[in-house]
């Protein structure tokens, strides 16, 4: 008897990480659905096997069809480093998709960025608030903070995972990694229990890419139950000091997940 593959919803499917993540998900046997704004454009960029659902990340009501009956959600969307863009797209996309789920459990892989906990960086603060919503939602998750895309040399293919967000120079010294490897880690995390409820920074070092990432995921500490931040994150900020928009979303999404 054949078993129907699990359905994964890709947020940011036509982006520079989204496209290789779609390819990786298809290669691993998932049924892939993509949230898109422009169906004709997406048809030119994505494989025919991908189901396209039109919606707008800024409108939670438009996302209900997209999230219906999915088993996992992969977030690879992103805007700019302007605070308003990150708030209205990166953060709001996470908040609105979680709200559209209305408490129904799914497995989540969320891509943010290395340096998310850097103090005094407004756009990073909104990415961090999106992470906090995922942790508060009650879903199983992996949060991936990649280093600088494609700054790695050809022989830098060994995937390195760490946590605590301790590298905060704001440049490639914080870590470098290829886009296809970021995509691989996101998709691998969906089915690897060793990746569950973990927050990690991702970079590549000299050497060959691992065939199996289970040991790498397993070496990381899980986030504390009920915590809003990654297990070793510093520069923590009390929820009460966050903007009203975030606190309202946290109440709404946290209540739905309980």
- pLDDT tens track for 126-182: 999 999 999 999 999 999 999 999 999 999 999 999 999 999 999 999 999 999 999
Domain that holds residue 249: 7-257
CB 13 within 8 A of CB 46: yes
Question: Does residue 1 sit within a domain?
Answer: no
Per-residue pLDDT tens over the stretch 58-98 = 998 899 999 999 999 999 999 998 999 999 999 999 999 99
pTM of the model: 0.96
Closest CA to 121 of 83, 151, 71: 83
pLDDT at 255: 72
d(CA 164, CA 184): 22
Question: Does residue 72 sit within a domain?
Answer: yes
Rounded average pLDDT over 252-258: 74
Rounded average pLDDT over 21-44: 96
- Give how far the C-alpha of residue 120 lies from the chain's centroid of Cα atoms, to the nearest Å: 22
Question: Does residue 2 sit within a domain?
Answer: no
CATH of the domain at 210: 3.40.50.720
pLDDT at 256: 65
E strands in 37-106: 51-54, 72-75
d(CA 107, CA 98): 11
Rounded average pLDDT over 95-112: 96
Count of domains observed in the chain: 1
pLDDT at 2: 42
d(CA 219, CA 63): 36
Q: With cut-offs at 50, 70 and 90, classify the pLDDT of residue 257.
A: low
């Amino acid at each position: 008897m054949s078993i129907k593959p699990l359905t994964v919803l890709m947020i940011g499917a036509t982006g520079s990480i989204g496209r290789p993540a779609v390819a990786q998900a298809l290669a691993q046997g998932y049924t892939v659905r993509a949230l898109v704004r422009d169906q004709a454009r997406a048809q030119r960029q994505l494989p025919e096997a991908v189901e396209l659902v039109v919606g707008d990340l800024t409108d939670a009501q438009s996302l209900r069809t997209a999230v219906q009956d999915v088993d996992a959600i992969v977030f690879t969307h992103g805007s700019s480093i302007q605070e308003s863009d990150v708030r209205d797209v990166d953060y709001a996309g996470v908040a609105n998709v979680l709200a559209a789920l209305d408490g129904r459990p799914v497995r989540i892989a969320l891509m943010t960025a290395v340096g998310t906990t850097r103090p005094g960086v407004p756009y990073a603060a909104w990415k961090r608030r999106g992470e906090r919503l995922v942790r508060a939602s009650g879903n199983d998750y992996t949060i991936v903070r990649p280093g600088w895309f494609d700054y790695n040399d050809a022989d830098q293919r060994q995937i390195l995972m760490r946590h605590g967000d301790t590298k905060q120079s704001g440049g490639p010294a914080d870590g470098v990694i290829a886009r296809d490897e970021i995509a691989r880690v996101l998709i691998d995390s969906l089915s690897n229990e060793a990746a569950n409820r973990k927050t990690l920074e991702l970079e590549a070092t000299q050497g060959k890419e691992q065939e199996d990432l289970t040991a790498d995921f397993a070496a990381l500490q899980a986030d504390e139950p009920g915590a809003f931040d990654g297990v070793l994150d510093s520069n923590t900020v009390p929820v009460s000091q966050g903007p009203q928009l975030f606190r309202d979303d946290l109440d709404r999404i946290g209540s739905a997940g309980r």
